[in-house]
Amino acid sequence: MKINIRIPATSANLGPGFDALGLALDLWNETTITPAKEFSVQVTGEGADKLASGKSNLVVRAAQRLAERAGKSLPPFHAECVNAIPLSSGMGSSSAAILTGLLAGNALLEKRFAMEEILNLACEMEGHPDNVAAALMGGLVVSTVHEGKVLAHKIVRADRDPPLHITIVLPDFYLSTKQARAALPKKISMKNAVHNISRTALVVEAFRTGDLDLLGKAMTDKLHQPYRLKLIPGAGQAMRAAKEAGASAVALSGAGPSLIAFSSKAEAGIGESVRRAFEAAGLEARIFHLEVSSRGAEIQIR
C-alpha cells in the first residue's frame, strides 16, 4: 500500500475573524506513506533540518492519536514529506502535519472515521478549528465548536467573481504560538467585541462576492492584532507599506509573524514594499505570491 496525501497552507483570522475564519492557500505539503518495520519520517523542503525523523514527529503522533481513538494498533510506516509550508509562519504548518497524520492513520486502519470526526480530532490537537477546517475543506471556512463538535461551513465564491491575488511576506522572526496567545488581553470591551463581530460578517461577504473595497474596510481588528503587531519588529510599518503599495486589505496571517495582503491583480510592488519595511527593522523576509485554493486535503491510496 502507498498513500499520497496533500494538504494546503492556510491563513487564519483574516483580521477580525479571530479563531473563526480560515482560508486555504495554493501552497502544499505532500507526503507519501508506505509500510515499514518501524516509524520513520524523512523531510525535504521546509523544516528539513528541524523536524523529528521518528515517533516524535507530529505526523506520526497524529496518526497514533487516531489509532488510540479507534482502539487499534497502528502499523508502523515511513513518511516521506515534501514540505512547502514554512514552519512557525502563520501559514498552517502544524495543521498540515496533524491532518497528514490523521488521514494516514485513517487509511492504514481502513477508514474507520468519517471526515467530520477527522476534523474533530484535528481540532482537539490544534486547539481551535480555523486552520484545520480550511485545510481539510478548502476555500474560506467559518468554523466554531458547538456542543463539543466542530461546526464548519465553506463559503463558496461565484465563478464570475474577480480573481483574488494574495501576497504573503514572512519575516525571519520566531514568534511562538504561546507567546502570541500570552500577549492577548484577558478581557475586552463591548465596543471592541461589536467591532469584530460586525466586521467578521463583512469580511465573509466580501470574500463571497469578491468585493475588495469592502474587504479593505472590514479587515480591521481590535482583539489580537494591536497586541501581536507590537511583538514583531517592523510589522506595523509593513502593514502600512502594503496598503500604500496597492493592497486592498492586509492582516496578520494567523498569529504571525507573516502578513497577508489581498489585491485585484498580481502586484510585485506589494511584497517588495513589505519586505523593505521589515528590512528597515533588521529582518530579512520572504515573499509568496499565492491564490486561494478551493480544494482542501487530498488523499490517494494505491
Given a cut of 80, is residue 255 above it in pLDDT?
A: yes
What is each CA distance from 261 to 74, 147, 172, in whole angstroms? 42, 34, 18
DSSP 231: G
Q: List the grid coordinates of 114.
A: 468519517
- Can you give the pLDDT at residue 133? 98
Q: Per-residue pLDDT averaged across 35-58, rounded?
A: 96
- Can you give the pLDDT at residue 1? 86
- Can you give the pLDDT at residue 124? 97
- Can you give the pLDDT at residue 267? 82
Boundaries of CATH 3.30.70.890 in the chain? 165-291
Given a cut of 90, is residue 100 above it in pLDDT?
A: yes
Q: List the grid coordinates of 117.
A: 470526526
pLDDT tens sequence across 264-293: 988 889 999 999 999 999 999 999 999 999
Contact of 77 with 35, CB cutoff 8 Å: yes
Given a cut of 80, is residue 74 above it in pLDDT?
A: yes
Work out the mean pLDDT of the chain and round it to a whole number.
95
Instruction: Assign domain 165-291 to its CATH superfamily.
Output: GHMP kinase, C-terminal domain (3.30.70.890)
- Can you give the pLDDT at residue 20? 97
Residues with Cβ within 8 Å of 264's Cβ and at least 6 positions away in sequence, in order, are 162, 163, 164, 165, 212, 248
- Can you give the pLDDT at residue 59? 98
Given a cut of 80, is residue 161 above it in pLDDT?
A: no
Angle at 195 between CA 214 and CA 206, to 5 degrees: 20
pTM over 0.85: yes
CA dihedral 202, 203, 205, 208 (to 10 degrees): 170
Phi, psi for 102 (deg, rounded to 5): -65, -45
Contact of 131 with 12, CB cutoff 8 Å: yes
Q: Does domain 3-155+293-301 have CATH number 3.40.630.40?
A: no
Distance between CA atoms of residues 209 and 161, nearest Å: 6
Q: List the grid coordinates of 131.
A: 486552520
Contact of 277 with 247, CB cutoff 8 Å: no
- State the alpha helices, DSSP H only, in the chain: 58-70, 93-108, 115-126, 130-137, 177-182, 190-209, 212-218, 225-228, 235-244, 268-280
Given a cut of 80, is residue 160 above it in pLDDT?
A: no
- Can you give the pLDDT at residue 158? 65
pLDDT tens sequence across 177-236: 888 989 999 999 999 999 999 999 999 999 999 999 999 999 999 999 999 999 999 999
How many other C-beta atoms can be found within 10 angstroms of the C-beta atom of residue 133?
Answer: 31
Q: Which of 216, 197, 196 is nearest to 206 (CA)?
A: 216
